[in-house]
Homo-oligomer: A and B are copies of this chain.
Amino acid sequence: MSNSTKIKNLRELMGQYELDGWLVPRADEHQGEYVAPYAERLYWSSGFDGSAGMAIILADKAAVFVDGRYTLQARNQVDASLFEIVHTADVSAGEWLAKNAAGKVIGFDPWLHTENEIKRYQQACAGAGTEFVALEGNLIDDVWLDQPGMPVDAAFAYGPRFAGLSSAEKREKLGQGMSSQGVDAAVLSNLDSIAWLLNIRGTDIPCTPVVLAFAVLHSDGAVDLFIDSAKVDDKLQEYLGADVHLHPYDGFEEYAPALKDKRVAYDPKTGPIQIRQTLEEVMAEVVPSDDVCLLPKACKNEVELNGMRVAHKRDGAALVEFLVWLYDRVQNHKVSELEASQQLYASREAKEHFRGVSFETISGAGPNGAIVHYRVAPESDRGIDPHEVYLLDSGGQYLDGTTDVTRTMVFNKPTSEQKDRFTRVLKGHIAIATAIFPKGTTGAALDVLARKSLWDAELDYQHGTGHGVGCYLCVHEGPQRIAKGMSLDVPLRPGMVVSNEPGYYKEGEYGIRIESLVIVKEHSPGFMCFETITCAPICRDLVDVSLLNDVEKTWFNEYHQWVAKTLPSYMQPELKRQVKDWLDKQTAAL
């Protein structure tokens, strides 16, 4: 079906429902970064496949809303005769609606939007008289004839060997906290929260080992779990235990009257507005609050942290084995960005506990490296020129941990500008890696340390310095982060994992980013610090040693000593000799 036919059919259906417009978010019911194929409604209707965005389809016009990362991509993917491309930094969806849908009736699927999101639209349109109407069912699903079905893969147990704590322990502790707040139950819709709480994993969503489900956690530790029964075999049901009661995936509304008169926590930032409305309909008292799993999940226990540490050593070995192959290929043969990412996958796949990538690999040579969220695809694939800078951002899901690493490299002599920029990025990376900071410090407070050396040269990068990372869960996890800005800002706490990834991008020429993951830990009474767990060499050919001070030089050399000493035990025996020679050169002291 052509895109114009899709939109035409949708508009006919809007007319039947007496709607002037329909909202098509990227999100599924769970507001995660990745969605299963059945939920790719934005991609199906507009052609845009970025990880964040929305379309609004009115009777006579339509628009796709994207942020700065995706304006170029949207322009390439979306038919401009059907959709206007709107950059949300210029015009928000709410502002666009206020201007283009004054006095109109806009329909939406209340499972795909959070309460806060709908409120934002309503506030933006308060003066314009736009009305927002929640529909049962989704109009896209009615016109999407070959829409894939919901995933039916089995969920599986993820026991204390990797999780560190039993689900019963987690639920008991959370339940006590809820009791002390006078909360009887909490509705959970974030898939990683449910997977963490119940110590289960699945394969429903790309890159993230979670299971499609909703859950209600009660203050006595019992759970009502809304999940396709095909995913839970007898063995898993026994593992979940008698306190976990199963319901159909779409059974929340039928179940909800059981919450009458209870005080029920609901997260208006991530929970579908349908849940809020259902709670109100059944006369539950809604307590708006953060997902109760958010903070305990982020503060990992020692078993999880040790798992993360080991996973990063295996991942580093895989990366280095790949890099030896890559250097040879680029310098002596030919290789494209896509071939490189395929070889990297093969290298990771050979490692224990590997379960897939944690996100789509960014393999960007030359100018492609300057596109911050570049995803290599056959149409943009280019050969890696031995005279260009090459940026590689990738990660793996291992049973014992999730990895995310970026290294930037050259295969020949870099320009002095490239060395200057790389070294400034490195100084920022080291400033975060070596930071000591008092308890209570937020990631926002630390952000400038990563940028100072670039700012000194009137340079900057237009993304955050660090995001949280889960343990065999989401590669982008909240609430911890290192970034400018004020909202959702929480103090860093021991056990949190965050990325440390300053960068620099020269449009049309090259991109630089150095990313390692770090664990927040106690440094001394009252103070905290980071432990870098990513174990992979940082391209020494790109370092301008004259820009480093003694502390920085020492850090760089000690980090490389650790990398050189650690990785060989994790290498494929048949590659060990060759890889070790390469690694020793790459990690030689500055």
- Write the residues of chain A forming the contact surface with B, with a CB cutoff of 8 angstroms: 435-438, 441-442, 444-449, 452, 455-456, 458, 460, 484, 486, 489, 523-524, 526-527, 549
Taking the closest CB of chain B, its distance from the CB of A148, in whole angstroms, is: 42
A-B pairs with lowest CB-CB distance, top 8 = A486-B486, A458-B527, A436-B455, A445-B448, A438-B460, A437-B455, A486-B489, A458-B524
> What are 6 inter-chain pairs, A to B, with CB distance below 8 A?
A436-B455, A438-B460, A442-B484, A444-B444, A445-B484, A458-B527
| Complex Cα–Cα for A446 and B445 (A) | 8
Query: Do B447 and A449 touch across chains, with their CB atoms under 8 A apart?
Result: no
**CB contact between A455 and one of B438, B447, B549 (< 8 Å): that residue:** B438
A435 to B441, alpha carbons, bound, how many Å? 21
The residues of B that contact A437 with a CB separation of less than 8 Å are 448, 455
Residue of B nearest to A447 (CB): B445
Q: How far is the CB of A551 from chain B (nearest CB, A)?
A: 9
Tell me, rounded to whole Å, the shortest Cβ–Cβ distance linking A552 to chain B: 12
Alpha-carbon distance A456/B458, docked complex (angstroms): 26
Q: How far is the CA of A24 from the CA of B452 in the complex (A)?
A: 46
- B contact residues around A527 at 8 Å (CB): 455, 458
Residue of B nearest to A182 (CB): B127
Give, as a whole number of angstroms, the nearest-CB distance from A481 to chain B: 13
Q: Which residues of B contact A435 (CB under 8 A)?
A: 452, 455
Contacts of A460 in B (CB 8 A): 438
Q: Are A446 and B448 in contact (CB under 8 A)?
A: yes
* B residues in contact with A523, CB < 8 Å: 458
| Bound CA–CA A18/B499 (angstroms) | 60
A444 adjacent to B486 (CB under 8 Å): yes
- Name the distance in Å between A456's Cβ and chain B's nearest Cβ: 6
- Inter-chain contact B445/A458, CB cutoff 8 Å: no
Residues in B with CB closer than 8 Å to A526 are 458
Residues of B within 8 A of A447 (CB): 445
Contacts of A449 in B (CB 8 A): 448, 452
* Distance between Cα atoms of A486 and B449 in the complex (Å): 18
Chain B, residue nearest A526 (CB): B458
Minimum CB–CB distance for A135 against chain B, Å: 33
A265 CA to B117 CA in the complex, in Å?
27
CB distance from A473 to the nearest CB of B (A): 27
Give the most central of A438, A441, A460: most B CB within 10 Å: A438
- Residue ID in chain B nearest A523 by CB atoms: B458
| Complex Cα gap A393–B436 (Å) | 29
Residues of chain B contacted by A484 (CB below 8 angstroms):
441-442, 445
Q: How far is the CB of A52 from chain B (nearest CB, A)?
A: 21
Q: List 20 extra interface pairs beyond A445-B447, A458-B527, CB under 8 A.
A: A435-B455, A436-B455, A436-B456, A436-B458, A437-B448, A437-B455, A438-B460, A441-B484, A442-B484, A442-B486, A444-B444, A444-B445, A444-B486, A445-B448, A445-B484, A448-B448, A448-B449, A458-B523, A458-B526, A549-B549
Residue of B nearest to A440 (CB): B484
Query: Which residue of the partner chain B has the closest CB to A525?
Result: B458
Once bound together, how far apart are the Cα atoms of A486 and B443, in whole Å? 12
A446 (CB) vs chain B CBs: closest residue: B448
In the bound assembly, the distance between CA atoms of A484 and B491 in angstroms comes to 11
Q: How far is the CA of A526 from the CA of B462 in the complex (A)?
A: 13
Q: How far is the CB of A357 from chain B (nearest CB, A)?
A: 33
Tell me the nearest residue of chain B to A457, going by C-beta. B436
For A449, give the chain B residue with the smallest CB separation. B448
A445, A446, A447 interface centre (most CB from chain B within 10 Å):
A445
| Residue of A444, A447, A460 ringed by the most chain B CB atoms within 10 A | A444
Question: In the complex the two chains form, what is the Cα distance from A203 to B458 in whole Å?
Answer: 45
C-alpha gap A305/B61 in the complex (Å): 51
Q: How far is the CA of A122 from the CA of B437 in the complex (A)?
A: 36
The smallest beta-carbon distance between A462 and chain B, in angstroms, is 10
Docked CA distance A444–B484 (Å): 9
Q: How far is the CA of A435 from the CA of B451 in the complex (A)?
A: 11
Give min CB distance, A526 to chain B, whole Å: 7
How far does the alpha carbon of A446 sit from the alpha carbon of B452 in the complex, in Å?
9
Most chain B CB inside 10 Å of its own CB: which residue of A489, A526, A527: A527
Tell me, in angstroms, the Cα distance from A446 to B446 when the chains sit together: 9
Docked complex Cα distance between A294 and B25 (Å): 39
**Chain B residues with CB below 8 A from A441, complex form:** 484
Separation of A527 and B454 alpha carbons in the complex (Å): 12
